[in-house]
Amino acid sequence: MATDTLAPAARDERRRPATLLAVVAVAALLALAEHEVVAGRFHTALAALVTWTPALVESLWVNVEISLIAIALGTLAGLVLGVLLVSPLWPVRVVTRAYVQVFRNAPLLVLIYFSTYVFPFEIDIGHVSLPFPDWIKVTLGLALPASANFAEIFRGAIQSIPHAQWDAARSLAFSRTQIFRWIILPQCVRRMLPPWMNLYASITMATALASLVGVHDLLDTAQVASNTVARADFTVVVYFTVLGLFFVYCYPIARLTRFIEKRHAFS
């Protein structure tokens, strides 16, 4: 029993050197690039990377903004859908289940193209035409699977609450709404948080597909940089940098998720 308890901690200890090595490697790469720029060797791939790094970092925030808005919309919609999935009315459950199954199992790229061409390019309000940007369409396209997946997360959290708590609340004359608000939801939050964070990380990585429909995001900037510099070695370096930037943003989310899971497991 003691061995099982220490096993996760031991695995974490083994992972720390690998994580530290990755950080040291990235720092060494940046230091080498800066040295080449200072030395005047602007023709190398690493020197070109230094020139393009500010643009790459700035464009990463486009992906972050899309992911934050998409997960916010998906969470709000998923809260409603999750309640409908456990509705006592079977027609409501059937319709909601159909929505969840369709958007959980649809490819993300298909949903992005779907939202890009279904929604108009301009919205006419009276005599004024307002543009409907592509990044908003991509956000809506990612919010659809986010809402379906979070609905399942919410439904699972609700059904994980012992049924005896429902019976005890009803015996105290609580209404169904009061039971949800004051008894069920507070307990669901801890259960939903780790899978919700995993869902957010997945949505963040899926924002790289936005470049396929004309959004000037991190991947699109990397493509522009690669075409501008026109060097095979720089193309490899710039796409490794894209991987690194996504890793730097998503890895702390994964670590925090594991921490919350462990804390919940032993609480």
Per-residue confidence band for 84, with pLDDT thresholds at 50, 70 and 90: very high
User: What integer pLDDT is reported at residue 3 of this predicted model?
Assistant: 44
The per-residue pLDDT for 266 is 45
The two structure tokens encoding residue 179: 């039971």
Per-residue confidence (pLDDT) for residue 16, from 0 to 100: 59
102 confidence band (pLDDT: 50, 70, 90): very high
**Top-level CATH class of 18-266?**
mainly alpha
Amino acid (1-letter code) at residue 72: A
**Partner residues linked to 128 by β-bridges:** 125
Q: What angle do CA 145, 147, 151 make, to 5 degrees?
A: 115
Residues near 89 by Cβ (< 8 Å), separated by ≥ 6? none
Q: Return the pLDDT at 15.
A: 53
Q: Where on the phi/psi map is residue 122: left (φ > 0), alpha (ψ -120 to 50), or beta?
A: beta
| CA–CA dist 116, 91 (Å, integer) | 31
Whether the per-residue pLDDT at 267 is higher than 80: the answer is: no
Q: For residue range 132-189, what is the model confidence (pLDDT) as tens digits?
A: 889 999 999 999 999 999 999 999 888 888 888 878 888 888 887 788 788 888 888 8
| Residue pLDDT, tens place only, 180-229 | 788 888 888 888 988 999 999 999 999 999 999 989 999 999 999 999 88
Task: Read off the tokens for 183.
Answer: 């008894």
Span 7-63, pLDDT tens digits: 444 455 555 565 665 666 666 666 655 555 555 544 577 778 888 889 999 999 999
137 vs 114: CA distance, rounded Å: 9
Could you state, in order of their start, the residue ranges of all structural domains in the chain?
A: 18-266
pLDDT tier at 1 (50, 70, 90 boundaries)?
A: very low
Length, in residues, of the chain: 267
